[in-house]
Amino acid sequence: MGRVLVIEDDERIGRLVTRALEGGGLLTERASSGSAGLDAALRRDFDLVVLDLMLPGLDGRQVLDQLRERRPEQPVLVLSAVPEISTRVAVLEAGAADFLGKPFAVAELLARVRARMRPAPGGDGGRWLRIGPVHLDLHRRRVTVDGVRVELPLREFLLLQHLMTRAGRPCSRDELLADVWGLHFDPGSNVVDVSVRRLRGRLDRADRIETVRGVGYAYAAD
Amino acid sequence: MGRVLVIEDDERIGRLVTRALEGGGLLTERASSGSAGLDAALRRDFDLVVLDLMLPGLDGRQVLDQLRERRPEQPVLVLSAVPEISTRVAVLEAGAADFLGKPFAVAELLARVRARMRPAPGGDGGRWLRIGPVHLDLHRRRVTVDGVRVELPLREFLLLQHLMTRAGRPCSRDELLADVWGLHFDPGSNVVDVSVRRLRGRLDRADRIETVRGVGYAYAAD
DNA sequence: ACCGTTCATGACGAGGCCGTCATCCGACCG
DNA sequence: CGGTCGGATGACGGCCTCGTCATGAACGGT
């Protein structure tokens, strides 16, 4: 479950925000001043920090700068009543992951928070793929089944990757042709079927590819 | 340098956006319809897609859905004149990385685009490798030189990856044999040399592999 | 300038990848 | 139970990959 730190001095808005986030299934923590917030952010791990710009004592901008300095990988979503474009730009350039002006709709805040907490596109959100005994390393293009290495040719690896990332959902031949083969038209042959067969053969007993009649193939979800 | 695809049918806004992004040091490409944009996004690699919601033919929302379906890791920033909060929320929940309402300030757009292209917070673990014009995608095992795809066989890709991650440092043949070939002994042949040659040939003018006499090879640091 | 060492280069060929096709089989329907 | 359609299977072959070797070129020390 995601953990969010809310740094906001205004009691009313603070409540509003934490309520909204908790309603969205997130764990929240609250800090009412810049220094307390910075402290909490440095001491513990949060998936996201929601930071108000106008704060007593240590200013929100200073908190952001400190955070970027001492924990550059920490994503921060900045809230602010300041409407100027220059402020937004400055905050984003300073490293904030997102900016939302006040007044804001809680639904939009929640949606933006969620967007920021999604598995990072290039990050390790994609390096490893594991379902049951089958384990893919996307970087090294390696497969192990029950810890034993299995050599897969390129096409079969891409095919397996596509199916596993969409486990439980059937994938049409067209979809596979487009993503695995890069073909945006039907080559008029059963390449997909043949490749699936070869892949099945190589996975042997670990094979979890199901054929969905009239549609395509699906990897059995966990 | 970052590569951005702008999908926008309005000629004026399209110009405005691409100009702004190029002014910010980004490479842009333009598509004037949903289907053309989707096509380009699927066929080539972009660091970010800027997508207008209102498009002729294939709607922006459909483009987003297709993209999420077929290339879930592709970050998308949605532009829209629709002011409703529900639209923003729906778009973000549908997987867009960001949302910016029209009319917008080009400065803010540029700042948001940059924010989305920053290395992913979770430590992107090295999905992308880029030195000068040569760009590796470790997940997709793809190489582009000046944005143009170059097909590399497995061995040559691994070799290039090893050298680029250690750019500026010479790598001995033993080291390469161990990491790229998995051989912990000398096979008594010049496999490494031959593979380097082939790789050089394929990189052509972009080749930055230097031979370090008596040691091995090194990729020229940036 | 000479010569040994190191690297570059071109050619060869076994093996594997992968697209195609023809045929077989099993599922679903009447 | 027979027909039809979609998928499974086995075989074939072109092409690419990649390890090997022989030879030529470049370097560096004396």
A85 contacts B121? CB cut-off 8 A: no
Identify the domain boundary among B87, B116, B145: B116
Which of A20, A101, A5, A117 lies closest to A54 in space, CA to CA?
A: A101
When pLDDT is averaged across residues A163-178 and rounded to a whole number, the result is: 89
Q: Per-residue pLDDT for A128 more than 70? A: yes
pLDDT for residue A47: 86
pLDDT in tens, chain B (222 residues): 678 999 999 999 999 999 999 998 898 999 999 999 998 888 777 889 999 999 988 999 999 998 887 777 789 999 999 888 999 999 999 999 999 998 999 999 999 999 998 765 433 445 678 898 999 888 778 899 988 889 899 899 999 998 998 888 888 898 899 888 888 788 888 999 999 999 999 998 899 999 998 889 999 987
Q: Per-residue pLDDT for A157 more than 80? A: yes
A74-83, A121-130, A184-193, B205-214: the lowest-pLDDT one:
A121-130
pLDDT for residue A121: 45
Instruction: Give the nucleotide with minimal C1' distance to the Cα of A183.
Output: C19
Assess if residue A121 is contained within a domain. no
pLDDT for residue B13: 94
pLDDT for residue B126: 57
CA distance A124 to chain B (A): 6
- Given the DSSP bridges, would you call strands B48-52 and B98-101 parallel, antiparallel or unpaired? unpaired
Do B27 and B51 touch, CB atoms closer than 8 A? no
pLDDT for residue B1: 65
- Cα separation of the two ends of chain B: 13
Same domain, B104 and B147: no
| Cross-chain CB nearest to B112 (options A92, A110, A119) | A92
Q: Per-residue pLDDT for A83 more than 50? A: yes
Assess if residue A190 is contained within a domain. yes
Place A122 in a pLDDT band, splitting at 50, 70 and 90. Answer: very low
pLDDT for residue A119: 61
Assess if residue A122 is contained within a domain. no
Higher pLDDT, B112 or A125: B112
Assess if residue B121 is contained within a domain. no
Assess if residue B31 is contained within a domain. yes
Same domain, B103 and B132: no
Identify the domain boundary among B93, B116, B139: B116
Same domain, B102 and B139: no
Same domain, B132 and B110: no
Same domain, A149 and A205: yes
CATH number at residue A133: 1.10.10.10
Q: Per-residue pLDDT for A179 more than 60? A: yes
pLDDT for residue B121: 43
pLDDT for residue A93: 93
Same domain, B134 and B100: no
Same domain, A68 and A139: no
Q: Per-residue pLDDT for A129 more than 60? A: yes
Place A125 in a pLDDT band, splitting at 50, 70 and 90. Answer: very low
Identify residue B167 by its one-letter amino acid code. A
Q: For chain A, what is the mean pLDDT? A: 88
Q: Which residue segment(s) compose the domain that B177 sits in? A: 128-219
Q: Per-residue pLDDT for A126 more than 70? A: no
CATH number at residue A24: 3.40.50.2300
Give the integer Cα–Cα distance in Å for A165 and A151: 19
pLDDT tens digits along B75-93: 999 999 988 899 999 999 9
Assess if residue B103 is contained within a domain. yes
A96: which 2 tokens?
A: 């904030």
Q: Per-residue pLDDT for A102 more than 90? A: no
Q: Which of residues 132-161 of B touch strand D (CB under 7 A)?
A: 151, 153-156
Give the side-chain half-sphere CA count within 13 A for B89. 12
Same domain, B86 and B110: yes
Assess if residue A205 is contained within a domain. yes
When pLDDT is averaged across residues A31-58 and rounded to a whole number, the result is: 89
Query: Where do we find the tokens 């929100």?
Result: A60
A48-62, A104-118, B124-138: the lowest-pLDDT one:
B124-138
Same domain, B36 and B90: yes
Burial of residue A108 (CB within 10 Å: 0-12, 13-18, 19+) is middle
Identify the domain boundary among B55, B88, B116: B116
Same domain, B101 and B43: yes
Burial of residue B170 (CB within 10 Å: 0-12, 13-18, 19+) is middle
When pLDDT is averaged across residues A39-52 and rounded to a whole number, the result is: 87
Same domain, B54 and B28: yes
CA of A174 to C1' of C18 (A): 18
Helical packing angle, B106-117 and B11-23, nearest 10°? 60
Do A129 and A161 touch, CB atoms closer than 8 A? yes
Give the number of domains in chain A.
2
CA distance A216 to chain B (A): 15
Same domain, B112 and B153: no
The residues of A whose Cβ lies within 8 A of any Cβ of B are 73-75, 85-86, 88-89, 92-93, 95-98, 105, 107-108, 110-112, 114-115, 118-127, 138-139, 141, 154, 165, 175, 178-179, 182, 184
Assess if residue B108 is contained within a domain. yes
